[in-house]
Structure 1
C-alpha cells in the first residue's frame, strides 16, 4: 500500500446500525464519511472518529425539502417549502426571506469510532455501539468534525454542535478513547475548528480557535495580511473555561493560495523544534472554495510566537486519483482536503484528513518535511 490512501469510505458505513434507524424508516445514504479525529489508544492502536453525514435518499417530496432533526423523543423530518429556500450549496439550503442568514442542512452528522492497526493502514473494528450522536437540544442538527488531543492521560475531543439555538463548540472527555462523556458547550456561537494543544503550556491548557462572523475589517494596503476568518489562541485553567489570548494568531496572507480564510486542522503536537500544527487554507473558487493543508511551527514556551509558517506551497492537496473509483458519489464542485489529526509514526507523521468531504484519507509524511 502506498503512503497516501483512503482508509474509510461512504460505502464502509453500515446504515442499518445508524442511530437514525431508531426513528426514521425512510431510506438514507451516507453523503460522506470524512473529517476524522485521530488519536492513539492505550493499546497502541489508532482511533479514527469519523464524521458520518447521513442524508435522506429523497430529500424533496412534493413542494417541500426536508431536514433531519434530533429531539429527545427521536429523530424527525422538518419540511421547508422549495420556493422559500436556495439549494445552490449541496451541503445545505438557505432560507430566502429570512432577515438573517438562516441555513438548514441536507444531512445530519454523527461520529463513528473506527479502530485501526498501530500503523494506520488496516481497519480492525468499527464500533457502532460507541457512536456519538446528538444528545442535547444544542446538537439537534448534528455533531461534526471531531478533533482529539491526549493531555496528561485524558482524551479531550472537540466537535461542532449544530442547532437553531446556536452553532457551538462542544467537548467530550474519555480516559480510554472509547467511552466518552459529554462535558457540554465550551465556546459559543460559530467558533469552529477548536483544537487543544496536545500538552499543557506553562501549566495551562491552550487551544486554537476560529471565530466566525459576517463582518471583518480591512488591513491597510501595505499589510501582508488579508481580512477574514483567522486562527486565534485561547487558554484555560481546566480545559472547560476559556479566555481568548490577545496576541493575533495565524492569519491569511496576501499571495497565498489560502488568502480566502484559514482554520485549524491537526492538534498542535510538541516536537524538538516547537509546536507543529497542520491547518487548512481556502482559495476562493465557486461556492465552496478549494481547501488545501499547510503547516506552521510555534514556540514551545510562547505559542503566540510563530516561528515558521508554510502557506505558499501546500503540504497536502486534494488527490483525484484517490477518489477515482467513488467519483460518482462526489457532490462538491471544487477540490477539498481537510486535515483533522496527526499521530506519531516514529520517523514519520500519520496524517488523517477528509478527502472531498467524502472519505477518510491517511497520509504518511516524513518528519524531516517539518524541519
Structure 2
C-alpha cells in the first residue's frame, strides 16, 4: 500500500463536467429543486440516479432516473418516477415531512444495494435505511439504532444525524470482528428542540462541531438477517473540522472508494454560519475535499486535502435554494473515469471527474 502522512497532499482533483439534472418547473414534486443524489447500477447494466426531489414546503422524496451517457460521459437523465416518499410515521412531523439526501452503497458480500437516508420526522433529521436488489423496489429496514457505549456517557440516539454512508466492503471492527462500517455525522445541539439543553457532547469529545464518525455492524449478523444493518455499535469520531474550508462542520460524501493508499473519502466542508434545527444555513459556503482512511482501521485518517477540491463558482452552484453549495454524494466509474455527482446550491445536480494527479 502506498503510504502518505497527514501533511501529504492527496494526489486527486475534481474537475467540473457540467450540470446533469435541473428541476422540472412543470413537476410539483420538484418545485424547490433536485439535489444531493445517490447512484446505483441496475441489473440491466444501466446507471441510475436517485435525486432528492423537493416539493413545496420542503417536502422531499427520492426519485429514480436513468443516467444518459454519451461517449463515456454522463450528460443528462431520463426520469422514472419516485422510489421513496415520506409515508412512514418516523418520516413525518405535524408540520414537516421528508426522505432526504440518500447515499447508496452496493455491498457484494450481501448482494444488495444499501440506501442510507435522512428521515425528516417530528424530532428533526434521523438516520434510516432501505435495501434493494433491483434498484426499483426499496424495502425499509427502519430507523438506525446506536447501541449504548458507557464511555461516551450519552445515548447517540438522542441526537439528529446526517451524512450517512456505508463502506462497500468488509472492514476490521475495533473488536477484531469482520464488520460492515458506516460513516455518520451526529449533531449535538439540542437547544433548538428543547431550549436550555445546549449541546451536550459525549464524554471525551473535545470538539463539539459537527464531525465525521464511524460505526460498525457485525458482518455475520448482517449475513443472517439484513435488519442487523440498523443496529450499529462501536461508534467513534473519525475527523473533526481542521482545514480552513471546513471550520464550521464537515460530513461524509459518497461511499468510500478503495484506492492504492487506502479508503478515499470525498467529503464536504462548511464555513460560515451553521443553521439550527430545521433551518437552512444561509450565508454558509459548502466545498468539497477529500481524506484518506486507513484500510486496517478506517477510523484513522492517514491524510486529508488541505485545500478544497471543488468550490462553488458557477451560477448553478452559487444561486439557488441555498446558494454557494457543492455537496458531493455519489461516485461511479464510467468507461474508466471516476465521476462524482453532487448537489448544486440545493437546486440542481452536477457532475465532476475525479482525477489522479500523481502516481
The two structures have a TM-score, normalised by structure 2, of 0.75
Alignment of 1:1-371 (within 5 A): 3-11=16-24, 14-15=27-28, 18=29, 30-55=31-56, 106-117=57-68, 119=72, 121-123=74-76, 125-128=78-81, 130-140=82-92, 141-152=97-108, 153-165=111-123, 167-187=125-145, 188=157, 189-202=159-172, 203-214=178-189, 215=199, 227-237=208-218, 238=222, 239-246=229-236, 248-253=237-242, 255-285=243-273, 287-310=282-305, 312-322=306-316, 330-332=320-322, 334-366=323-355, 368-369=356-357
- Number of residue pairs aligned between Structure 1 and Structure 2: 295
Query: Measured at CA, do residues 259 and 370 of structure 1 come closer, stay the same or move farther in structure 2, by a change above 3 Å?
Result: farther
Deviations 1:79-129 (A, max 9, x none): xxxxxxxxxxxxxxxxxxxxxxxxxxx32000110111454524453111x
Larger fraction in strand: 2
For the residues of structure 1 that align with 2:271 and 2:164, how far apart are their CA atoms? 21
Greater relative contact order (Cα 8 A, min sep 6): structure 1 or 2? 2
For the residues of structure 1 that align with 2:78 and 2:254, how far apart are their CA atoms? 23
Residue aligned with 2:163, SS: coil
Deviations 1:22-57 (A, max 9, x none): xxxxxxx611101001222233322111001111xx
The structural deviation recorded for 1:317 is 1.2
Query: Measured at CA, do residues 45 and 244 of structure 1 come closer, stay the same or move farther in structure 2, by a change above 3 Å?
Result: same
The two structures have a TM-score, normalised by structure 1, of 0.73
For the residues of structure 2 that align with 1:335 and 1:278, how far apart are their CA atoms? 18
Q: Is the 8 A contact 2:168 2:255 kept in 1?
A: yes
Question: Counterpart of 1:96?
Answer: none
Deviations 1:167-221 (A, max 9, x none): 3111110012222111111144411111001111133110101111211669xxx
Q: Which runs of 5+ in 1 are unaligned?
A: 19-28, 56-105, 219-224
Larger Rg: 1
Q: Which runs of 5+ in 2 are unaligned?
A: 1-14, 146-156, 173-177, 190-198, 223-228, 274-280
